[in-house]
Amino acid sequence: MRPRNPRGHPAMTLRLLLAAALAAAALAGCGRDPAGPGSGTGAVRVRLTDAPAAYDSVILMIRQVSIHRAGLPEESGWEIVRPDSVAAYDLLRLRNGVFATLGEAPVPAGTYTQVRLLLADGSYVVEDGIAHPLTVPSGLQTGLKLTGTFVVPADGTVEVGLDFDAARSIHVTGNGRHMLKPTVRVVPIALSGVITGLALPPGAGEWAHAIAGDDTVASAVPEADGRFTLALLPPGVYTVAIEAADAYRDTSLAGVAVTAGGTTDLGAVGLEPR
């Protein structure tokens, strides 16, 4: 007797259709953002800080902040965090753990991969008491697009830190124009850590650096009392190097551990006279 063709059996056909539907649903889910469309709304807060630079001031005129959703087209995946509203930010006042909030807003929950800063006219730097216009290619039209991944949780808030490195970002051309080509780290604040310390005697420490391998991840200039903060550090082990004034010796501390959400306090770091 010939075996019966399973395609002709109604129960078998139903089981096959159900299996196909489940397989299609599973495939459609593969690669999706775990907090994808339909998963609710969260909030994002974008905050700005800076590493030191050899200028009196670095003034950025920021008018809009937006973030880009992973997996969506470049032209349509932007969520506005700060609507058009021009404000001036002096980057060199945002150091040693000082942040300025650029904007915050409810947005669809999910993964984001860019922060865009649209600038207004009038950014400038002050060097030796003289103001120089700061040229920002495309900054007024398409904006400064900063790359970094972060997740906005449903019914929660993520704080995103922008660690602007003014010293590496400003370039002076042969004809004396000051150009901004930004070097900025985009870091979810809760996933980063902080190193603090006190370089003594006051005024002896000129720079403090957090170094991982061959990379200087963050730098700070100690305040007048010697206190310094190295913020937005990925978890790991660092060497903290302190560059001293001419009358003192440079020093370094190896094996400084940083954990997500934690602060590692070095306490007083004494610098020896030469």
- Domain residues of the chain, as ranges? 41-191, 193-270
pLDDT for 109-160, tens place per residue? 999 999 999 999 999 999 999 999 999 887 677 889 999 999 999 999 999 9
Got the DSSP string for 257-268?
EE-TT-EEEEEE
Binning pLDDT at 50, 70 and 90, where does residue 75 land? confident
Statement: residue 11 has pLDDT above 80: no
pLDDT at 139: 65
pLDDT at 36: 46
List beta partners, residue 257.
Answer: 237
DSSP element (H, E) containing 14? helix 10-29
Cβ atoms of 236 and 258 within 8 Å: the answer is yes
What is the residue-averaged pLDDT of the chain? Answer: 87
Q: Which of 98, 272, 257, 99 is nearest to 199 (CA)?
A: 272
Report cis status (omega within 30 of 0) of the bond before 201.
Answer: yes
Total-model pTM = 0.82
Type of residue numbered 163:
D
Token reading at 215: 């990379």
Statement: residue 167 has pLDDT above 50: yes
Statement: residue 248 has pLDDT above 70: yes
Cβ atoms of 48 and 88 within 8 Å: the answer is no
Cα distances (Å, whole numbers) of residue 153 to 33, 44, 231, 237, 253: 11, 9, 23, 28, 37
Statement: residue 37 has pLDDT above 70: no
Residue 62 and residue 85: Cα distance in Å, rounded? 8
Spell out the CATH class of 193-270: mainly beta
Token reading at 87: 């404000």
pLDDT for 182-205, tens place per residue? 899 999 999 999 999 999 999 999
Residues belonging to the chain: 274
What CA dihedral angle connects 241, 205, 231 and 167, to 10 degrees? -90
Range from 6-10, 29-33, 76-80 carrying the lowest mean pLDDT: 6-10
Q: What is the DSSP letter of 248?
A: B
Binning pLDDT at 50, 70 and 90, where does residue 51 land? confident
pLDDT at 141: 78
